[in-house]
Amino acid sequence: MTRSQLIENIRQKKSYLCVGLDTDITRIPRHLLSYSDPVFEFNKRIIDATKNHCVGYKLNTAFYEALGLIGWEAMEKTIAHIPSTHFKIADAKRGDIGNTSAQYAKAFFETLNFDAITVAPYMGEDSVRPFLEYENKWAIVLGLTSNAGAKDFELQKTGDEFLYEKVISTISRWGTPENTMFVIGATQSSQFEKIRQLSPDHFYLVPGVGAQGGSLKEISEKAITKDCGILVNVSRDIIYSSDKEDFIERAAIKALQYHQEMMIYVT
């Protein structure tokens, strides 16, 4: 998906919501366990319930890989079920020496046909570059994450700047706003204005709203641009709205609530 297509989808729908399909088989409604592929059955129903309110879906691949072959098959079927109009993110956090990253890029961009993949940047340019060489695909690079451990490295000073600032400013030169995004955690809202100065035209994938306590209002006011420039990911607060048979209706209601709040900020 191109940048212009993503922006157009956001403007038409007046939503920058990304639904996280971090599907934990131990948390889905128990009645689904009778299906041959309960993870896919859950995902399919969540997608059908929320697709009118979001512009993308993010699959945390760990939840699928943990199940072995069955999980990988569920991921493939889930990707096939997501409408082509929606941005598809593999939250895989890959990044290795160049020839290995090239194989990761092939796996997620060609075999699975994701639009984007999250990338760990700390092995340097040769570990990121293979993800930037695909036309109309995106590398979403870890910038400033929402976890407590961000203080261990990302929020340490290297010279006059934080390490995360060096990562963002450097990688902004490797890629372009057409193929590079950054992961910026919603719980780091105090840093958003500074980050926008470092990368004024890039999109941010923003996890941490909802269950992790991030504020949609605060993020939107500080980080949104004329092209929107943010995708706010919400996982648990939507997909686990209920663990009973009404989970579809509850997920749709929760997604609608986020959609309605986002309508205020999309121009």
Instruction: Report how far residue 27's alpha carbon sits from residue 46's, in angstroms, rounded to the nearest whole number.
Output: 14
Q: Which CATH class is domain 3-262?
A: alpha beta
Q: What is the pLDDT of residues 217-238, one digit of tens each?
A: 988 998 999 999 999 999 999 9
For residue 2, CA distances in Å to 9, 24, 116 come to 11, 31, 11
Mean pLDDT in residue range 73-94: 98
Q: Which of 44, 77, 93, 194 is catalytic?
A: 93
Q: Is residue 87 scored above 70 in pLDDT?
A: yes
pLDDT at 212 (0 to 100): 67
Q: Judge whether 93 counts as a catalytic residue.
A: yes
- Give domain limits for the chain: 3-262
Q: Are 138 and 116 in contact (CB under 8 A)?
A: yes
pTM score: 0.96
Q: What is the pLDDT of residues 153-211, one digit of tens each?
A: 999 998 999 999 999 999 999 999 999 999 999 888 788 888 999 999 999 999 988 66
